[in-house]
Amino acid sequence: MAAAEQASSQKTATTWHGIVLQTLKRNEIKLVPYVPDRVLTTLIKDLHADPYFTTFPTAREEEAVGIISGAWMAGMRGAVLMQTSGFATLANVLASLAVPYQIPLIMFVSERGTLGEFNYGQALVCRTMRPVLDSLAMEHHTITRLDELEFIADRSIKQAVTTQAPVALILSPLLTGGKTFDK
């Protein structure tokens, strides 16, 4: 292994976004549409920089869910990146596409609205997320620790694919640092 590559892989092994990227790659998830979030900036940048991935922004989160669903049915795996408030726009598409058609929709949700939130609207919308997931009996995990990230993400992706069921992986501010108030 070249020195530069080794340094790069050490970096990816020690940051949450590096672990997410490597876990996606190991599970052959190539298609990653997203609606951006500040916390996801480095992950999105690194996905764009890696030719393995086809990654691009969409106008709405449900649009990304549609794209991933079509790609899955045609043989290409994908995952969607979004923020909490973006997840809040998804109840209809989860209930009428991902769940009933049994599509292994893999979602990474950067969690806003808790642990230092400064915008009341974000705090409120965050409280709608888990009740929606629970109401559809959807698998979801809140990832808070770097040492648990790879296990949870890797196992959850494999479970989604083998059980043909969607999963939401919620990236807690405890993991990512979140977004804090600065003038």
Q: For other proteins, which residue of 5, 51, 75, 182 counts as binding (CB under 8 A)?
A: 75
Residue 88 interacts with other proteins (CB under 8 A): yes or no: no
Segment near other proteins (CB under 8 A); pick from 6-14, 93-101, 117-125, 141-149: 93-101
Residue 58 interacts with other proteins (CB under 8 A): yes or no: yes
Residue 31 interacts with other proteins (CB under 8 A): yes or no: yes
DSSP string of 97-119, one letter each residue? IITTTT---EEEEE--SSSS---
Q: For other proteins, which residue of 95, 132, 165, 174 counts as binding (CB under 8 A)?
A: 95
Beta bridge partners of 47: none
**Between the CA of residue 80 and those of 9, 14, 60, 90, 177, what are the distances in Å?**
23, 22, 11, 12, 20
Pairing of strands 106-110, 167-171: parallel
Residue 165 interacts with other proteins (CB under 8 A): yes or no: no
Distance separating the N- and C-terminal Cα atoms of the chain: 44
Amino acid identity at 123: A
Residue 103 interacts with other proteins (CB under 8 A): yes or no: yes
Per CB under 8 A, residues contacting other proteins are 31, 33, 54, 56-60, 62-76, 78, 92-93, 95-97, 100-103
